[in-house]
Copies of this chain bind each other. A is one copy, B any other.
Amino acid sequence: MCCPELVRSIPSGPPPPRGPAQGALALGPDVLARLRSVCDLTHPLTADFPVFPAYRPFRATPLFSVERNGFFAQELCYAEHTGTHLDAPAHFYVEGGGTESVHAPDLIAPLAVVSIAGRAARDEDTLLGVDDLLAYERRHGRIPPRAVVALHSGWEARLDQPGHFLNADASGVMHAPGFSPEAAEWLVHERDVAAAATDTLSLDFGPAKVYEAHLALLGAGRYGLENVARLDRVPPAGAVIVVGAPAHRGGSGGPARLLALY
């Protein structure tokens, strides 16, 4: 978390939301024609899915039942940053675009999966850095423009045991991998990504006090995806992610259905 030059370069507010409902796909016919399969990158949402400690868990309250009313319907209540979800620029910036403002073509993007799972098994607070991105590119080719770059740390295996996913220590500090601020800046300025994604609760690493990776990405009008599932099931390069983003106006984020085509 050093690097004051980079932190200084974080813009004071995001550019205006892009937001049109129609546009040209960022994917060429060669990429699309290779797709054969789909993998759901979304965790099923339940009342016991771990949430950031400041939020109440997801609740579903029955309103009507098939037996009594002929149909079943519930009311849902939850904080926007629950389950597999999207962070909109508005999450950190007053002038940032809300959930509904993401440019539609940026919801169908090349997916680059960068795994630091080996290191994360030894160092819970490890950061995905620019070196990891350069090593990925040497092996899999250059990250295409308007891609979604996903951090795979293997963190979802921790959902099996209560408390292991948030991984808070005795003083309440959480421990989990994240993007380094420098990597987040590099993805925006050197590779023009549409978004960054992670299989952990946060783009920033667990002990972060200032959310520098969030600030760099959302401040540049990009979005984030958190609690992403099954990143180990899709190829590191060549897949396409479809982001079923929430569409409530002005929201800071919300549960998103993520599908990978490959």
**In whole Å, how far is A59's beta carbon from the nearest beta carbon of chain B?**
9
The answer to whether B66 and A37 touch across the interface, beta carbons within 8 angstroms, is no
Stretch of A155-163, A190-198, A242-250 lying at the B interface = A242-250
The answer to whether A38 and B23 touch across the interface, beta carbons within 8 angstroms, is yes
Identity of the chain B residue whose Cβ is nearest the Cβ of A61 in the assembled complex: B77
Interface size on A, residues (CB 8 A): 75
- Listed residue (A22, A38, A90, A100) with the most chain B CB atoms within 10 angstroms of its CB: A38
Contact of A40 among B21, B29, B250 (CB under 8 A): B21
**A40 with B104, Cβ < 8 A, contacts A72-B90, A242-B242 known:** yes
Residues of B within 8 A of A104 (CB): 38-40, 259
Asked if A117 CB lies within 8 Å of chain B CBs, one says no
**In whole Å, how far is A56's beta carbon from the nearest beta carbon of chain B?**
7
**A55 with B45, Cβ < 8 A, contacts A73-B80, A259-B107 known:** no
Q: Once the chains are docked, how many angstroms separate the CA of A227 from the CA of B232? A: 35
30 contacts between A and B (CB under 8 A): A22-B37, A24-B37, A29-B35, A32-B32, A38-B104, A38-B107, A38-B108, A45-B100, A54-B63, A56-B75, A60-B248, A71-B91, A71-B211, A72-B91, A72-B94, A73-B81, A74-B79, A74-B251, A76-B77, A76-B78, A76-B79, A76-B80, A84-B247, A107-B257, A108-B242, A108-B259, A242-B244, A242-B259, A243-B244, A244-B256
Asked if A200 CB lies within 8 Å of chain B CBs, one says no
Oligomer copy total? 2
**A257 with B244, Cβ < 8 A, contacts A77-B75, A104-B40 known:** yes
Identity of the chain B residue whose Cβ is nearest the Cβ of A84 in the assembled complex: B247
Residues of B within 8 A of A70 (CB): 92
The answer to whether A257 and B259 touch across the interface, beta carbons within 8 angstroms, is no
Q: Mark A18-49, 1 if CB is under 8 A from B, else 0.
A: 00011111000110111111111011111000
